Amino acid sequence: MRVRIEHVEVRRGFLFKRAFHEVHLTADFSHEEKQIVRQRYLEDHVVLERVPADARPDDDPEWYALRVKHLFERKPDKHRCATPSDAKRYAAELPDVMRSMKAWLDENAEPGSTQVIEI
């Protein structure tokens, strides 16, 4: 798995332009990792729960969760932060999240084996 994290400044608004700081996450999966996800139906697994800076209070937080299927789309996943500091903290968290996802995929590669325990 290859992961790319990029910081982008975006201005939104018609009259009053407001600057947001987005973190773009792109993941390139190996053929084996793609097969594990497809065969085990792991697309809807939540990798990271997050809420963007411009989210409305009445929005469902499930809309913003980072899922495996979002990373499979071959386009960057964009998360909007209010300040550069928030964007840097979010980006610093991503490598650990992706490492744990890689370990999780490896664990799902094969079913568990039979164990006999004598007590």
User: Residue 111 has what pLDDT?
Assistant: 82
Structure letter (DSSP) for residue 112? P
Are 8 and 22 contacting, i.e. CB atoms less than 8 angstroms apart? yes
For the chain, which residues make up each domain, given as ranges?
2-107
Contacts of 68 (CB under 8 A, 6+ apart): 37, 42, 43, 44, 45, 47, 101
**Residue 85 — very low, low, confident or very high, per pLDDT cuts 50/70/90?**
very high
pLDDT tens-place string over residues 30-71: 999 999 999 999 999 999 999 998 888 888 888 999 999 999
3-state secondary structure of 18: strand
User: Residue 114 has what pLDDT?
Assistant: 83
